[in-house]
Amino acid sequence: MQRFWGGRWLAPAASLGLGLGLGAALSGRRRRPEEEEAAAGLLARLPVLPVAAAASLPVAARAGGGGGELAKYGLPGLGQVRSRESYVLCYDPRGRSALWVVEQLSAAGLSGASERAACDFREDDSVHEYHRATNADYRGSGFDRGHLAAAANHRWSQQAMRDTFYLSNVAPQNPHLNQNAWNNLEKYCRSLTKHNKNVYVCTGPLFLPRMEADGKMYVKYQVIGKSHVAVPTHFFKVLILEKPGGEIELRSYVMPNCPVDEKLPLERFLVPIESIERASGLLFVPNILKRTSNLKAIVAGSKT
By DSSP bridging, strand 229-230 and strand 223-224 are antiparallel
Considering only residues 87 and 61, tell me which one the structure prediction assigns the higher pLDDT. 87
User: What whole-number percentage of the chain has pLDDT above 90?
Assistant: 62
Q: Is the pTM of this model over 0.75?
A: yes
Averaged pLDDT, 2-31: 36
Averaged pLDDT, 207-231: 98
Averaged pLDDT, 227-252: 96
Confidence of residue 300 (pLDDT cuts 50, 70, 90): confident
pLDDT of 11 strictly over 60? no
Rounded to whole angstroms, the Cα distance separating 147 from 101 reads: 10
pLDDT at res. 218: 98
Residues 244, 246, 250: CA angle, nearest 5 degrees: 95
Catalytic residue at 147? yes
Burial class of residue 261, CB neighbours in 10 A (0-12, 13-18, 19+): exposed
- The predicted-structure confidence for 22-72, as pLDDT tens digits, reads as follows 233 323 344 455 545 555 555 555 655 676 544 444 444 444 555 678 888
- The predicted-structure confidence for 254-276, as pLDDT tens digits, reads as follows 999 999 999 999 999 999 999 99
pLDDT, averaged across the chain: 83
pLDDT at res. 301: 67
pLDDT at res. 264: 97
Q: What Rg do the C-alpha atoms of the chain give, in angstroms?
A: 19
- Choosing from 131, 147, 154, 234, which is the catalytic residue? 147
